[in-house]
Amino acid sequence: MNSRATLQASVQTAFVAFALLLSVSVCSRLTVLVRLNDGQITEELLEADSEKDIITVEFKQTDGTLITFLSDFKRHVKIFRALVLGEPEKGQSQYQALCFISHLDNGELIPSEAMARLRQKNPHVVRSAEERRGVEEFTMNAVLNMSRSWHLSTHIHNVCRDARDLVYTRQQDVKYWLDKGVEGSIFEVFPQSLNVTGLESCSSTTDPWQPCACSYRLNLEWFPCQLKYCRGQGPNPYKCGIKSCSKSYRFDFYTPHKQLCLWDEDT
């Protein structure tokens, strides 16, 4: 390659927003400014630990809700947690914790070792996702026994401890993990009488102490979903950055009384 081509390649590389450094760092913390769906800007914290093989995404929504998303690549588990601020005037506690567990598919995020090497060139730029992946809907019809959750992932107890006994998953996820050899005693499938498809929705229930089907929706507005490759002097492309995605999730689940699902009135 001649000197002019080399200079052009150097200039192009300088304008890549995120770079993958060839460091041996095992853990990393990265703070990114992200524009939320309502137009507001928030700080998003991304943490990666390539030794534990996990990635964590955490940010605060405009209403004060703290969203945490943890991907456990070793155990093929993803954990969603929402710490929703309570309404004391309606008899609620300071906050309510929701936790949803599902299996992690290959290719949902970049690998943890790539995330651990990610560095941001322009930390003051507000990020918007390059690709919007639409809405994924979950009907949560099973719960986890928290005291035995370590059989599935050691991270569930730390992330979901405030949710107590209402840590939800799906029957199809239970089957997936059972086929992988996970201990079956940690799961409890809801009886048919508590199936959300047969319950009255909390938004239409008038009795605050009546069981109902609750819905909760959250958005991950920015996360590294795919590696980018560039061509250099050699015949093979090399990793030179990331592609960012956003995705929405809707969770439908049983709740023992409407008092634990007051946000559903506002949606």
Helix (H, G, I), strand (E, B) or coil at 21: coil
- d(C-alpha 148, C-alpha 117), whole Å: 33
From first to last of the 267 residues of the chain, give the pLDDT tens digit: 444 444 343 333 333 455 555 444 478 899 999 999 889 999 999 999 999 999 999 999 999 999 999 999 999 999 999 999 877 666 666 788 999 999 999 889 999 999 998 888 889 999 999 999 999 999 999 999 999 999 999 999 999 999 877 899 999 999 999 999 999 999 998 876 677 878 899 999 889 899 999 999 999 999 999 998 888 888 888 888 889 999 999 999 999 988 888 787 655
- d(C-alpha 264, C-alpha 267), whole Å: 5
CB 54 within 8 A of CB 70: yes
In the chain, where does DSSP find H-type helix?
3-14, 112-116, 155-160, 171-179
Per domain, the residue ranges of the chain are 25-260
The type of residue at 63 is D
**Residue 17 per-residue DSSP state:** S
CB 251 within 8 A of CB 261: no
Q: Residues 60-94, buried b or exposed e (16+ Cβ, 10 A)?
A: ebeeebebbbbbbbebbbbbbbbbbbeeeeeeeee
